[in-house]
């Protein structure tokens, strides 16, 4: 096998690796960890979203559309103003997105590499949170937390933009679940300890192979 043929083969393999790389999702259950990975700001706190206390067939506000898949008497979302006492937490101090019935909705938006929000659960079970990109489902996360506290959930994607997040919980029609303070942003610059992506690693290996072959050729000529 000639050196030039081997180099061409390795180059093709590197290009294939670069084209087939998938988005890597990293999940966070605390705002500090999410903040260390991404620079974000609150894009929706539901204080001006509404109307409040009304079953809505859908809600679009500040670049995000919330499409419900459950609710009573029909599929709906519901913006609960401050002062609600039928969540797992004590009386709410701000507006929270919930539903009139079980909570199950899809948040859709233009695209981001980082999204997170405050979370409200109940005692009946965890939340299932699905993440979507243009290619379809990117991953799913099961969120457990003390239902008497306000939690946090976030996710970052290193390659494919996130364009949707689905929130599904258990028996929200009995005790509300919901979200608040939706954050979006971008990944921070990679630190010195970052692991190269597969495409970068393949190209690096190609360079090393080329140097080895060149050295082997020089040694052969010197004999």
Domain coordinates in residue numbering, the chain: 24-187
CA 122 to chain centre: 22
pLDDT in tens, 102-152: 999 999 999 999 999 999 999 999 999 999 999 999 999 999 999 999 999
pLDDT band at residue 13 under the 50/70/90 scheme: very low
Q: How many CB atoms sit inside 10 A of residue 165's CB?
A: 25
pTM over 0.85: no
CA distance linking residue 82 with residue 147, whole number of Å: 18
- Give the residues across from 129 on adjacent strands: 141, 167
Pairing between strand 162-168 and 127-133? antiparallel
**For the chain, how many residues are written?**
223
* Relative orientation angle of helices 3-19 and 198-222, to the nearest 10 degrees: 170
Longest dimension (CA), the chain: 87
What homologous superfamily does CATH list for 24-187?
A: Galactose-binding lectin (2.60.120.430)
């Amino acid at each position: 096998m000639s050196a030039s043929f081997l180099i061409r083969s390795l180059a093709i393999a590197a290009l294939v690796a670069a084209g087939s790389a998938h988005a890597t999702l990293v999940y966070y259950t605390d705002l500090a960890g999410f903040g260390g990975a991404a620079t974000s700001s609150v894009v929706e706190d539901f204080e001006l979203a509404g109307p409040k206390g009304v079953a809505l067939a859908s809600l679009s506000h500040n670049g995000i559309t919330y499409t419900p898949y459950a609710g009573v008497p029909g599929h709906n979302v519901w913006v609960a103003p401050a002062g609600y006492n039928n969540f797992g937490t004590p009386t709410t101090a701000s507006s929270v997105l919930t539903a009139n019935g079980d909570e199950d909705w899809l948040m859709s938006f233009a695209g981001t590499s980082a999204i997170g929000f405050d979370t409200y659960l109940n005692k009946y079970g965890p939340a299932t949170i699905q993440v979507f990109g243009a290619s379809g489902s990117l991953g799913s996360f099961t969120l457990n937390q003390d239902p008497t506290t306000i939690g946090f959930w976030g996710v970052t994607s290193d390659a494919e933009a996130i364009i949707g997040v689905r929130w599904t919980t258990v028996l929200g029609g009995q005790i509300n679940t919901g979200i608040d303070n939706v954050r979006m942003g971008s990944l921070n610059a990679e630190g010195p300890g970052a692991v190269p992506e597969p495409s970068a690693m393949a190209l690096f290996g190609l360079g090393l192979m080329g140097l080895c072959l060149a050295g082997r050729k020089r040694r052969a000529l010197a004999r």
